[in-house]
Amino acid sequence: MGTLEVFVGLDYHQSGVQVCILNRQGEQLANRLCANDSVAIGQVVQQFSAKVQAAIEACCGAADLAEELMQQWGWSVDLAHPGFVSRMKQNPDKTDFSDARLLADLERVGYLPRVWLAPEEVRELRRLVRYRQQLAQERRNLKLRLGAMLREQRVPKPNATPWTKKWLRWLQSEAPLSAESRWIVTQQLRRLQQVEADIVTVEERLEQQTAQDDIVQALRREKGVGLVTAVTLRAEIGRFDRFRSGKQLARFCGLSPRNASSGERQADAGLIKAGNPQLRGVLIELAHRLMRYSPRWRELATTLRGKGKAGSVVAAAVANRWVRALHHQMQPAALAA
């Protein structure tokens, strides 16, 4: 086993991992397929050196493997942004062999586009938050299907607010539906009730899991921020001090306008397509609450509307400014004060 540092590229797949090993001069020492197992991968690389800098593309399962390699073998492992890595590849052909070589080479020369490797507790929180998001999406789809059924049957609207207890009783027993539509509605209402119960259960677990989380508790003290908003921010952002500025954080959240200028034409093209769409959606919903209940943000919204800005643009602008201010409030020094 050598003492000189080696650079390892890991092209991850569920069935196996292509492992490419380069030395400091860029010479390929090995490029072979290994089992998707940290022990097997470590044994192959340890034949060449114990000093390892490795790179693996961020994908499902990659973060867990990276953490295992760091803990078991003491490696330095970076997660690579897959979109940027693919653009750097000059060869149009895509093979596991060449992908692993590219990752190792980018790590060697210091050009690897890195993404944050969230610690295990944040990844676990992410799984819970995203499971709740899936349930919320299922609830939304069920309600849309029920509404479509009523329109298809040309059912007149009752004298009740949709989705209240009174409205649901009317839908279950009084709405004039055909026999088959009535059966389908009954099945969907039963499923809707189960999904809503599951959402309550997940939210109770989120409460338990974040009761001792200082960042979540600090977020919940912010005006307009409830459990779902706080845990979504914590799960997707993780640590606020990993961003250099509030502007960088807002861009990560997908709340920055995208520039579409060319020549003398200066224009915006909506929000940038970056970040987690659920995170952006939660922040836009928060902006609407802030515009209703917070004098500061209501004043900003009024000013923007007076300039002719559309409601969607106003909400995005409020969310952007709020996130940029939050960045400073959530720094470790501010939290400790």
The DSSP element (H or E) to which 236 belongs, if any, is: helix 227-237
Confidence at residue 83, expressed as pLDDT on a 0 to 100 scale: 82
Q: What's the pLDDT at 127?
A: 95
The tens-digit pLDDT sequence of the chain (337 residues) is 556 899 999 999 999 999 999 999 999 999 999 999 999 999 999 999 989 999 999 988 899 999 999 999 999 999 999 888 888 777 777 889 999 999 999 999 999 999 899 999 999 999 999 999 999 999 999 999 999 999 999 999 898 999 999 999 999 989 999 999 999 999 999 999 999 999 999 999 999 999 999 999 999 999 999 999 999 999 999 999 999 999 999 999 998 887 766 666 666 667 777 778 899 999 999 999 999 999 999 999 999 999 998 888 999 999 999 999 999 999 886 676 6
Residue with tokens 């299907």: 145
d(CA 17, CA 19): 6
Whether the CB-CB separation of 235 and 126 falls below 8 Å is answered with: yes
Residue keyed to tokens 């890595």: 85
Query: What pLDDT shows up at residue 260?
Result: 66
Residue 12: count other Cβ atoms within 10 Å of its Cβ: 21
Separation of CA 111 from chain center: 24
Determine the Cα–Cα distance for residues 185 and 196; give it in Å rounded to an integer: 16
CB atoms within 10 A of CB 171: 23
Q: Where are the domains of the chain?
A: 6-115, 120-209, 214-336
Residue 263 pLDDT = 66
CA angle 139, 140, 142 (to 5 degrees): 65
How many whole angstroms separate alpha carbon 332 and alpha carbon 37?
Answer: 36
- pLDDT score of 258: 75
Two tokens at 170?
């009317």
Q: Which two tokens stand for residue 149?
A: 């059924």
Q: Which CATH number fits domain 6-115: 3.40.50.2000, 3.30.420.10, 3.90.1580.10, 3.40.50.2030?
A: 3.30.420.10
